[in-house]
Amino acid sequence: MKSAAKILPKVAVKRISAKRELSQAYAIRIRVFVKEQGVPRAIELDDDDQRAIHFLATIGTKAVGTARLVWHGRGAKIGRMAVLKSYRRRGVGTKLLNRAIGAARRLRADKIYLHAQVAVSGFYQRMNFRAVGSVFDEAGIAHRKMIWRGKQLAAAKSELHRRQVSPR
């Protein structure tokens, strides 16, 4: 039987709409990227923050994770995914990523991509992203560009189905 202390309220992810929520998201990013991973603060908070769609994950009333979505042409780049250490591996990252993908799809992005830290690229692979190109350095950490293949898979399945039912 689980103890009451281990039972967590549901993870909720919302689009940030208030300055207080944005401050909470920035605090999570500073804690994860700057303090834990050594990313310089000057590059962690950047100009893209002004034009991004930001998301905040909460468990109960506690802010525990964040992500942002930035448009580059018709492509949507998911970035700055951060979850507080004691809340990792509890579904927070999955919910954040699904929310960002959903927003990009609703806004009709032609491409959804991200720069994944190599150490956690397996998480993104399980979420239907595929690695493209070589490993590169970003803020002193090895990264790999990854593209979400959900739309491509759906199109390929549709084409396969069309071929199977079409007369020859």
- The CATH number of residue 103's host domain is 3.40.630.30
Residue 151, pLDDT score: 54
Number of domains forming the structure of the chain: 1
Which pLDDT band, with edges at 50, 70 and 90, does 31 fall under? very high
Of the candidates 45, 48, 70, 67, the residue with the CA atom closest to the CA atom of residue 57 = 67
Question: Six-digit token pair at 103?
Answer: 């927003």
pLDDT average, residue stretch 142-167: 64
Domain that holds residue 156: 4-165
Residue 130 has pLDDT above 50, yes or no: yes
Of the candidates 116, 122, 155, the residue with the CA atom closest to the CA atom of residue 136 = 116
Which pLDDT band, with edges at 50, 70 and 90, does 27 fall under? very high
Which pLDDT band, with edges at 50, 70 and 90, does 3 fall under? very low
Q: What is the mean pLDDT of the chain?
A: 87
Of the candidates 25, 37, 108, the residue with the CA atom closest to the CA atom of residue 74 = 108
Residue 150, pLDDT score: 77
Q: How far is CA 117 from the centre of its chain?
A: 12
